[in-house]
């Protein structure tokens, strides 16, 4: 029954509507309704209907005619309507709502805001049917599913004399699953079109009133997206959240067509109506998508079939593109319970901006599977506590094949990929790379440049970079990045160690700030050939001039840049030394030993010009540090990093000359008295058949452990084709294997890469070099065992179920052992003791989900980033308790105890040389106290 709610007791009806407006519906609401062919709908009476315009697209968009701020007084009056009106006729309610308003827009707005302010399911309406003359009767009908919001709006508009049509059709609402066939019954819905200012415009008061929240989805399970298994499988109750949604007041036809399909296409109010097939297949675009004025470039379908990888692309409005922030959620189609925990499939998503206005999302899959991808976003300039991320679009992605050799992307930073709002707010502009992804050259080298946008001098600001390897195991490679300030620009040089994907994270810090600010991140994809060495250690700060150079009057003449690339095995550095300061230059690098480095540098003074000639023994990266004695000891003046790569086309061809001397050269040159035996090469093995030139080159190369020169000399020796040189070649090649394996072992151990350590140890065994490399092998195996131990500790924490963590969190007054263990755990994660002394603060931290979840933070923790004094502080916090004492009161607490103990012991081993001089620290107060009360 469609109750009119206008009984005989209403005496004020004439004041509101001397002549009641018509009732319209796209279906025959009541048998007496008649068809208006012009309007493609049924009406209670055809009287005066022909004067109304037929359904057609509105002449202008909603934004042109409506600004909610201009109707705040109308909204307030409607929302504050007296409750007594519920027991009076609809005509009385409408009279109150429209009193004093002469325009239909204000009247319609008042009706919409009153309806959207009624929490129908929460109203205390008696189960017994109220009198039909009361407004409350219409709300009772809605609550008991005997009527709906569209019918209520239609009745209110009738008394306000605003033409209003009830439209019926299909809806992509809370029961809709992306890509499914639309069922006439399950997806049926009704909404309205109202005639305002001469145009028909849409209203959906139900969608504008409440939104279903927390409906448990039994078909999909959350892929770890910050909460991971912490939120998977939790029972979420179904409830309705009541608030006014502006999207469904006078909604534009294009936006409405994304979720509403009228049974009669004419009521789409579009020049080119959407077909039912297209409605089901087209991309599922949500309200926030239209609010932000986005455009979908590809794909146009909501279900995407992909072979290993898929790309989704959007266009952003140019005037607001930098004010938008985006995040994503990933769900996987549920399988059998025997499948086990989910992998981090969200790590196979890469979201970045190709330029200012193009947003690109690349998704790859290591498995054949079905996922639901949800993109959310917001305008970060909106200052409203109720405004947050909301859905933009949802896709169903079916991977029919997995991507070959598929590895996850590096962990996505909080501020996302590429230059963005954080870069601008930091006062920098990208000058070399504007997208979130950089493809390195064939050499694996790249240069990233930024310029200050405000013209300020950044030379004194702290800037740093991190390079992290992607894949299943994160690998910190910060010694593969150096930076400098040059000609007003901030420049980063990156040397990727090998093929793969890396995260380049860039930070800055103002004077006095304690926390670095992440201002930009890049995904670096390298397809290089071969491997690159790290830059020399100790050169992570800005290259080029230091503070001491300016005060001492030292100026670089020949090389003002702190980063030098050269093909010449010798370079000359010249400095102007006006104050005749005692200068010295140090050479360092993995390819040169300290005692050899001194012999590779010569120094001369020419008036006030100090000149250094530096020779590089082989290809590689070198560090040069100029120091000066200012009377207060030696201070740093200049730092250089030199990337030396000899051009093979320039190599001197010595083989023909050596061949010409073979017949006449029979004497063996003596080894210089100041040089030791050549690394195990026997004197008698380098016999009289070798020219002195090659013998000396091989001897020197072995002594200096210069594998490049040794390899070159061996190749030339082979080219001689002398049978008598076979033994010499074998010994030299054995030394080559020793040099290379030693270097690889040291690098793998330093970088703490379990996979590479295993591979190099395998190579050492195969080449039978374990005796020659005994010390390096022992160190590598020890590091391998320590990495395994850390992984075991991590696994124990990650396999804790959420119930166990919840049990720890539920303590009101935890046992002292549990409190201390959790304080130590959070200290290692960056929470000082003053934050965790009160248990309620620990409870809050343990209750966080997403990227702030305790298990997620432990999984992403970089052990090398933990300060030694903090690690010792965590050790001291649990020192008074044994594992058995903790286990007796909490099994979960015992797991965290083992993790803290194992991690702190590992950090003690890594810092054994300095541990005695470090004071344990658990509080942030100490730093402030030491600033206030300096110690001499």
* Assessment of whether the complete model's pTM goes beyond 0.75: no
Distance CA 605, CA 550 (A): 20
Superfamily of domain 211-243+283-335+342-409: Immunoglobulins (2.60.40.10)
Average pLDDT over residues 72-87: 94
Look up residue 337 and give its DSSP letter: G
Distance CA 177, CA 219 (A): 10
For 176-302, strand residue ranges (E) read 188-196, 199-203, 210-213, 220-222, 239-242, 249-251, 260-262, 284-285, 295-298
pLDDT class of 98 with cuts at 50, 70, 90? very high
The dihedrals phi and psi of 919, each to the nearest 5 degrees, come to -95, 125
Task: Give the lowest-confidence range in 307-316, 484-493, 636-645, 741-750.
Answer: 741-750
Cβ proximity of 878 and 819 under 8 Å: no
Structure-token pair, residue 285: 């675009």
pLDDT for residue 928 is more than 80: no
Sign of CA dihedral 914, 918, 922, 927: negative
Say how many C-beta atoms besides its own lie within 10 A of residue 12's C-beta. 12
Instruction: Show Cβ contacts of residue 146 under 8 Å, excluding neighbours closer than 6 positions.
Output: 1, 140
CATH label, 800-917, candidates 1.20.920.60, 1.10.10.60, 3.50.50.60, 3.30.450.40 = 1.20.920.60
Average pLDDT over residues 399-404: 90
- For 92, the enclosing helix (H) or strand (E) is helix 90-98
Distance CA 924, CA 872 (A): 14
Please tell me the CATH code under which domain 418-526 is placed: 2.60.40.10
Q: Hey, do 211-243+283-335+342-409 and 418-526 end up sharing a CATH topology, with the first three levels equal?
A: yes
pLDDT for residue 225 is more than 80: no
Cβ proximity of 646 and 631 under 8 Å: no
Distance CA 640, CA 566 (A): 13
pLDDT class of 695 with cuts at 50, 70, 90? low
pLDDT for residue 219 is more than 70: no
CATH label, 544-644, candidates 2.60.40.10, 3.90.1150.10, 3.30.1600.10, 3.40.50.740 = 2.60.40.10
pLDDT class of 767 with cuts at 50, 70, 90? confident
Comparing 397 with 513, which gets the higher pLDDT? Answer: 397
Q: What is the pLDDT of residue 865?
A: 80
Report domain extents, the chain.
Answer: 24-209+246-269, 211-243+283-335+342-409, 418-526, 544-644, 701-795, 800-917
Q: Residue 704: CA atoms inside 13 Å, Cβ hemisphere, count? A: 23
Average pLDDT over residues 329-344: 63
pLDDT for residue 666 is more than 60: no
The dihedrals phi and psi of 747, each to the nearest 5 degrees, come to -65, -45
pLDDT for residue 930 is more than 60: no
Average pLDDT over residues 52-70: 95
pLDDT class of 916 with cuts at 50, 70, 90? confident
pLDDT for residue 602 is more than 60: yes
Q: What is the pLDDT of residue 566?
A: 92
pLDDT for residue 676 is more than 60: no
Say how many C-beta atoms besides its own lie within 10 A of residue 747's C-beta. 18
Q: State the average pLDDT for the chain.
A: 81
């Amino acid at each position: 029954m469609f109750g009119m709610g206008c009984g005989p007791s209403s005496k004020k009806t004439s004041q509101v509507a001397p002549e009641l407006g018509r009732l319209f519906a796209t279906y025959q609401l009541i048998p007496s309704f008649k068809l208006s062919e012009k309007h493609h709908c049924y009406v209670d009476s055809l009287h005066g209907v022909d004067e109304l315009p037929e359904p057609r697209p509105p002449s202008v968009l909603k934004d042109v005619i409506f600004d909610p701020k201009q109707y705040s007084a109308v909204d307030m009056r409607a929302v504050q309507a007296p409750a007594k009106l519920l027991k009076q006729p609809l005509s009385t309610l409408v009279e109150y709502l429209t009193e004093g308003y002469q325009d239909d827009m204000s009247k319609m707005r008042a009706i919409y805001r009153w309806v959207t302010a009624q929490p129908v399911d929460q109203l205390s309406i008696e189960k017994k049917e109220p009198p039909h003359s009361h407004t409350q009767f219409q709300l009772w009908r809605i609550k008991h599913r005997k009527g709906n919001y569209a019918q209520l709006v239609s009745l209110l508009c009738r008394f306000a004399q605003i033409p209003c049509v009830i439209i019926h059709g299909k809806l992509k609402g809370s029961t809709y699953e992306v890509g499914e066939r639309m069922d006439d019954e399950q997806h049926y819905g009704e909404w309205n079109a109202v005639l305002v200012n001469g145009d028909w415009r849409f209203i959906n008061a139900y969608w504008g009133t409440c939104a279903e929240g927390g409906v448990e989805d039994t078909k999909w399970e959350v892929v770890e997206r910050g909460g991971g298994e912490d939120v998977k499988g939790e029972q979420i109750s179904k409830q309705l959240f009541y608030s006014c949604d502006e999207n469904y007041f006078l909604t534009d036809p294009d936006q409405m067509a994304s979720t509403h399909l009228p049974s009669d296409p004419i009521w789409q109010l579009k020049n080119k109506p959407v077909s039912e097939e297209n409605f089901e297949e087209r991309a599922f675009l949500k309200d926030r998508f239209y609010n932000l004025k986005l455009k979908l470039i590809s794909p146009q379908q909501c279900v995407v079939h992909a072979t290993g990888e898929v790309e989704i692309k959007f266009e952003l409005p140019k005037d607001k593109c930098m004010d938008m922030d985006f995040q994503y959620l990933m769900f996987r189609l549920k399988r059998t319970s025997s499948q086990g925990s989910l992998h981090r499939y969200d790590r196979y998503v890469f979201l970045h901006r190709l330029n200012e206005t193009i947003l690109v999302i690349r998704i790859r899959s290591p498995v054949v599977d079905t996922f639901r991808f949800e993109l959310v976003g917001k305008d970060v300039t909106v200052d409203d506590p109720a405004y947050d991320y909301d859905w933009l679009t949802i896709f169903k992605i079916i991977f029919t094949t997995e991507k070959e050799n598929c590895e996850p992307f590096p962990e996505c930073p909080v501020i996302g990929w590429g230059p963005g709002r954080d870069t601008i707010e930091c006062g920098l502009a990208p000058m070399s790379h504007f997208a979130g992804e950089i493809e390195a050259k064939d050499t694996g080298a790249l240069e990233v440049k930024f310029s200050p946008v405000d013209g300020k001098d950044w030379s004194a600001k702290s800037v740093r970079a991190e390079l992290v390897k992607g894949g299943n195991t994160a690998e910190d490679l910060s010694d593969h990045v150096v930076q400098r300030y040059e000609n007003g620009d901030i420049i980063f040089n990156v040397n990727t160690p090998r093929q793969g994907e890396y995260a380049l994270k860039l930070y800055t810090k103002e004077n006095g700030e304690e926390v670095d600010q992440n201002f930009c991140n890049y995904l670096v994809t390298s397809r290089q050939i071969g491997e690159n060495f790290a830059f020399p250690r100790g050169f992570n700060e800005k290259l080029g001039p230091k503070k001491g150079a300016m005060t001492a009057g030292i100026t670089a003449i020949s090389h003002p840049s702190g980063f030098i690339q050269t093909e010449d095995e010798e370079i000359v550095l010249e400095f102007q030394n006006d104050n005749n300061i005692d200068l010295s230059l140090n050479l360092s690098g993995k390819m040169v030993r300290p005692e050899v480095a001194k012999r590779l540098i010569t120094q001369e003074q020419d008036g006030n010009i100090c000149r250094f000639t530096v020779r590089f023994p082989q290809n590689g990266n070198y560090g040069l540090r100029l120091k000066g004695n200012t009377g207060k000891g030696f201070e740093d003046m200049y730092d250089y990093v030199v990337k030396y790569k000899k051009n093979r086309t320039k190599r001197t061809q010595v083989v023909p000359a050596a061949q010409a001397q073979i017949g006449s050269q029979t004497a063996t040159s003596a080894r210089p008295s100041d040089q030791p035996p050549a690394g195990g090469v026997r004197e008698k093995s380098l016999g009289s058949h070798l020219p002195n030139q090659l013998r000396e080159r091989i001897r020197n190369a072995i002594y200096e452990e210069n594998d490049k020169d040794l390899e070159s000399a061996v190749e030339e020796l082979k080219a001689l084709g002398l049978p008598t040189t076979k033994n010499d070649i074998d010994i030299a090649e054995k030394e080559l294997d020793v040099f290379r394996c030693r270097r690889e072992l040291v690098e793998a151990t330093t970088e703490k890469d379990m996979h590479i350590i295993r591979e190099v140890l395998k190579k050492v065994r195969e080449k039978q070099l374990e005796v020659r490399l005994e010390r390096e092998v022992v160190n590598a195996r020890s590091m391998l065992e320590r990495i395994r131990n850390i992984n075991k500790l991590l696994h124990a924490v990650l396999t804790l179920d959420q119930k166990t963590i919840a049990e720890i969190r539920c303590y009101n007054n935890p046992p002292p052992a549990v409190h201390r263990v959790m304080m130590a755990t959070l200290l290692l994660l960056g929470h000082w003791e003053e934050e965790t002394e009160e248990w309620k603060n620990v409870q809050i931290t343990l209750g966080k989900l997403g990227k702030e979840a305790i298990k997620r933070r432990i999984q992403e923790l970089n052990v090398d980033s933990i300060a030694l004094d903090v690690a010792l502080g965590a050790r001291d916090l649990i020192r008074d308790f044994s594992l058995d004492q903790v286990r007796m009161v909490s099994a979960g607490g015992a797991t965290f105890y083992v993790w803290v103990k194992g991690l702190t012991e590992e950090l003690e081993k890594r810092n054994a040389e300095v541990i005695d001089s470090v004071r344990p620290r658990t509080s942030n107060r100490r730093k402030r106290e030491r600033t206030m009360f300096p110690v001499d």
